[in-house]
């Protein structure tokens, strides 16, 4: 993705002071093609037109800060609870009242003051080479620190939000010293310098460059349905493990949504976020984006179910932002 991609930029004004009837303007960290089915379904159901600007999360949030109350954005879609909490602290999103959201989203997956709401769940799972690794030897994140895996792990940079949140969950459950030791030992087992994204790590396993990695589960699903035969081959060669099922549960995070502080189309924005929690939208998330439904009354897609039961550490979600800075320091100190 380029530094900042503007979709439909020609029809979106730089500054807007009045609401436009039957429209909602969205800033999305996710590329528009990933949420287009949701957008189309919402418009068909409500008649409300959606305009999307896609880009990197930090760039989008900085633009919200810079534009202030002149911003045209009504909704912020982003990933990771820490980013959502950051948006709250920066006062670029506002609290809303919605019985639909309160009823559809478990308490542990939404802001207690109703500033942001989880819309889907992704697991940070362990992935392994089916031909070289016995999965019974990898049941916890702690197992990755054993000397038997020295020179056999690969990873994206620890500084990425996905890894920072995972280390934050370790601090929450086990304390800072434990998290620091885990990070130190994990890094000592790496086969190469951290590089690329999550999907790149899965490809490295398939190539034989490493045997085990940690990645978000939905990337694995994306490989299974990729237009590229090589990526579908990667999916066949790599297996998935949901660690810590017997204790804390597998670390999970959320995609989430919030109404911006400058929203000119607030009611439409609320309607869109409510729509994201409907059964049809949750089914889209599960079957097209390979994420887990936020709703407790919905089951994963058949593909996700085929990976095994996910025991998710949902109760830690609200605690993760508290430990992000400590996690960042640990990761930096251990040169991950």
Give the model confidence (pLDDT) of 8-17 as tens digits: 332 333 333 3
Whether the per-residue pLDDT at 249 is higher than 70: the answer is yes
pLDDT value for 292: 96
Between 55 and 271, the higher pLDDT residue: 271
pLDDT tens, residue by residue, 16-43: 334 447 999 999 987 666 778 889 999 9
pLDDT value, residue 32: 67
The pLDDT, as a whole number, for residue 45 is 93
Q: What is the pLDDT of residue 230?
A: 97
Reading the block at residue 106, the tokens are: 């478990």
70-90, pLDDT tens digit by residue? 999 999 999 899 999 999 999
Q: What is the pLDDT of residue 38?
A: 87
Tell me what the pLDDT averaged over the chain comes to.
Answer: 92
User: Per-residue pLDDT for 310 more than 90?
Assistant: yes
Maximum pairwise Cα distance, the chain: 62
Structural domains of the chain, ranges and CATH numbers in brackets: 9-121+253-306 (3.40.190.10), 122-250+310-333 (3.40.190.10)
Mean pLDDT, residues 51-76 taken together: 92
The average pLDDT across 57-77 equals 92
Residue 156 pLDDT grade (very low, low, confident, very high; cuts 50, 70, 90): very high
Average pLDDT on 187-210 reads: 97
The dihedrals phi and psi of 119, each to the nearest 5 degrees, come to -120, -20
Q: CB atoms < 10 A from the CB of 80, how many?
A: 23
Query: Which residues, in sequence order, are CB contacts of 189 under 8 Å at separation 6+?
Result: 144, 145, 146, 147, 149, 150, 151, 152, 153
Residue 271 has pLDDT above 70, yes or no: yes
Q: How far apart are CA 29 and CA 143, in angstroms?
A: 33
Position 224 pLDDT exceeds 90: yes
- The two beta strands, 212-216 and 117-129, are antiparallel
Q: What angle do CA 238, 214, 232 make, to 5 degrees?
A: 30
pLDDT of residue 58: 84
């Amino acid at each position: 993705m380029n530094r900042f991609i503007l979709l439909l930029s020609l029809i979106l004004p730089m500054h807007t002071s009045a609401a436009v009837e039957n429209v909602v303007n969205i800033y999305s960290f996710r590329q528009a093609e990933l949420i287009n089915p949701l957008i189309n379904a919402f418009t068909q159901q409500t008649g409300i037109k959606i305009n999307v600007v896609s880009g990197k999360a930090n760039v989008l949030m900085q633009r919200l800060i810079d534009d202030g109350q002149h911003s045209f954005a009504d909704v912020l879609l982003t990933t990771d609870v820490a980013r959502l909490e950051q948006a709250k602290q920066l006062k670029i999103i506002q609290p809303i009242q919605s019985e639909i959201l309160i009823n559809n989203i478990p308490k542990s997956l939404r802001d207690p003051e109703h500033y942001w709401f989880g819309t889907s769940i992704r697991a940070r799972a362990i992935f392994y080479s089916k031909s070289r690794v016995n999965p019974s030897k990898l049941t916890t994140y702690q197992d990755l620190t054993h000397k038997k895996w020295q020179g056999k792990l690969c990873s994206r940079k620890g500084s990425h939000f996905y890894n920072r949140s995972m280390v934050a969950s370790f601090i929450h459950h086990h304390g800072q010293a434990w998290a620091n030791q885990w990070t130190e030992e994990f890094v000592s087992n790496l086969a190469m310098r951290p590089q690329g994204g999550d999907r790149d790590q899965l490809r490295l396993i398939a190539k034989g460059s490493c045997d085990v990695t940690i990645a978000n589960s939905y990337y694995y699903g994306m490989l299974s349905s990729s237009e590229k035969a090589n990526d579908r081959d990667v999916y066949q060669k790599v297996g998935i493990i949901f660690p810590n099922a017997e204790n804390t549960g597998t670390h999970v995070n959320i995609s989430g949504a919030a109404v911006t502080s400058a929203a000119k189309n607030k009611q439409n924005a609320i309607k869109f976020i409510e729509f994201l929690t409907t059964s049809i939208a949750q089914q889209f998330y599960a079957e097209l984006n390979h994420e887990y439904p936020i709703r407790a009354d919905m089951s994963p897609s058949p593909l996700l179910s085929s990976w095994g039961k996910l025991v998710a550490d949902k109760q830690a979600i609200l605690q993760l932002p508290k430990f992000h800075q400590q996690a960042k320091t640990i990761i930096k100190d251990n040169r991950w």
